């Protein structure tokens, strides 16, 4: 975990300009009240207007705050530098309903639930044990609470992972050495092309995120299905680009793309904690 923290202290992610602003209609899909109504078929109770942005990075608290002005938002991250930047972004855009917490999502004593919605976008696949992370978040969800996760697909990351492994073997661990290597590489080589074609590859944080990350897990479709099954969470829908609304059909579509070698997107899933809250005995209730 120390390597991971060090990485994000050095390279907070993402790195949008502090004045980058969004309109409320751009972030409507992040509205807890709307998601709750759509998936639970009733109005969101007042006491569940609580959102956890787990592994919030340097930007996500701002769109969540904008989309959910009536909710209390907790933004949790391991990296002080990321929290500092995310807090500043919120302040500059007059978003005040966010509490920032420096801590590890695996620690049950921080950012305690219950939450109506938890977001962990691009976070769990950087943990040594992603299932443990998923279960730690599930513990913080209320009954019928919602969890959005983005996880890397094996297909989308194939080329990047090959380059990341090659760079690790070469002992390249910082952006300056990576850029120096790029200057020496034959321009047609596979590694040079991968470095040049990477989205955000023209920025330090983009290069670091793609190629210098200390910990990455990617998922084949069957592995993703296994992870969801082990978690005991209910899959409501996929929300990545081009996803079919019926999850069964989407599993099939993803499996077909993977088989053809054309699965080029990462997975975004909306899950629900269908486990009822433990019943308290009448004696305990009266205490």
Judged by the rule CB under 6 A, the positions of this chain that interact with ligand SAM are: 4, 8, 13-14, 55-57, 59-60, 76-79, 82, 104-106, 121-123, 126-127
**Min dist. Cβ of residue 13 to ligand SAM (A):** 4
Rank residues 123 and 175 by Cβ distance to ligand SAM and give the closer one: 123
Rank residues 104 and 250 by Cβ distance to ligand SAM and give the closer one: 104
Using alpha carbons only, give the angle 170, 171, 173 rounded to the nearest 5 degrees.
125
**Min dist. Cβ of residue 215 to ligand SAM (A):** 9
Rank residues 137 and 251 by Cβ distance to ligand SAM and give the closer one: 137
**Min dist. Cβ of residue 278 to ligand SAM (A):** 26
Residues near 214 by beta carbon (within 8 Å), at least 6 away in sequence: 3, 4, 6, 7
Rank residues 14 and 201 by Cβ distance to ligand SAM and give the closer one: 14
Looking at the DSSP bridge assignments, the partners of residue 6 are none
**Min dist. Cβ of residue 268 to ligand SAM (A):** 10
> From its phi and psi, is residue 123 left (phi > 0), alpha (psi between -120 and 50) or beta?
alpha
**Min dist. Cβ of residue 19 to ligand SAM (A):** 18
Rank residues 7 and 49 by Cβ distance to ligand SAM and give the closer one: 7
CB-nearest residue to ligand SAM? 57
Rank residues 199 and 256 by Cβ distance to ligand SAM and give the closer one: 199
Give the whole-angstrom CA distance, residue 102 versus residue 82. 9
What phi, psi does 6 have (nearest 5°)?
-60, -45
- Contact in structure between 79 and 9 (CB atoms under 8 Å): yes
Beta-strand relationship, 115-121 and 50-54: parallel
**Min dist. Cβ of residue 195 to ligand SAM (A):** 19
**Min dist. Cβ of residue 150 to ligand SAM (A):** 7
User: Among candidates 189, 132, 124, which has minimal Cα distance to 150?
Assistant: 124
Q: How many residues does the chain have?
A: 287
- Contact in structure between 251 and 225 (CB atoms under 8 Å): yes
Task: Kindly tell me the sign of the dihedral angle through the C-alpha atoms of 100, 102, 107, 109.
Answer: negative
Rank residues 103 and 256 by Cβ distance to ligand SAM and give the closer one: 103
Cβ neighbours, 10 Å, residue 238: 22
């Amino acid at each position: 975990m120390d390597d991971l923290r060090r990485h994000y202290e050095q390279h907070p992610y993402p790195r949008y300009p502090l004045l980058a602003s969004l309109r409320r209609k751009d972030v409507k899909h992040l509205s807890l009240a709307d998601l709750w109504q759509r998936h639970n078929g009733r109005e969101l109770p007042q006491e569940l207007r609580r959102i956890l942005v787990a592994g919030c990075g340097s930007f996500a608290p701002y769109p969540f705050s904008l989309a959910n002005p009536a909710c209390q938002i907790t933004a949790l991250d391991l990296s002080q530098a990321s929290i500092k930047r995310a807090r500043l972004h919120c302040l500059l855009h007059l978003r005040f309903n966010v509490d920032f917490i420096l801590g590890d999502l695996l620690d049950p004593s921080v950012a305690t639930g219950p939450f109506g919605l938890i977001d962990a976008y691009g976070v769990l696949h950087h943990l040594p044990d992603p299932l443990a992370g998923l279960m730690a978040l599930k513990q913080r969800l209320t009954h019928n609470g919602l969890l959005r996760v983005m996880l890397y697909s094996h297909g989308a990351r194939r080329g990047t992972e090959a380059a990341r492994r090659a760079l690790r073997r070469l002992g390249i661990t910082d952006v300056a050495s990576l850029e120096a290597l790029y200057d020496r590489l034959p321009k047609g080589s596979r590694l040079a092309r991968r470095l040049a074609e990477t989205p955000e590859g023209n920025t330090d944080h983009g290069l670091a995120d793609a190629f210098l990350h200390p910990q990455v897990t990617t998922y084949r479709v069957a592995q993703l299905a296994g992870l969801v099954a082990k978690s005991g969470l209910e899959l409501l829908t996929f929300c990545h680009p081009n996803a079919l609304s019926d999850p069964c059909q989407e599993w099939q579509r993803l499996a077909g793309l993977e088989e053809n070698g054309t699965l080029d997107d990462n997975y975004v899933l909306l899950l629900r904690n269908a486990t009822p809250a433990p019943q308290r005995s009448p004696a305990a209730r009266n205490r």
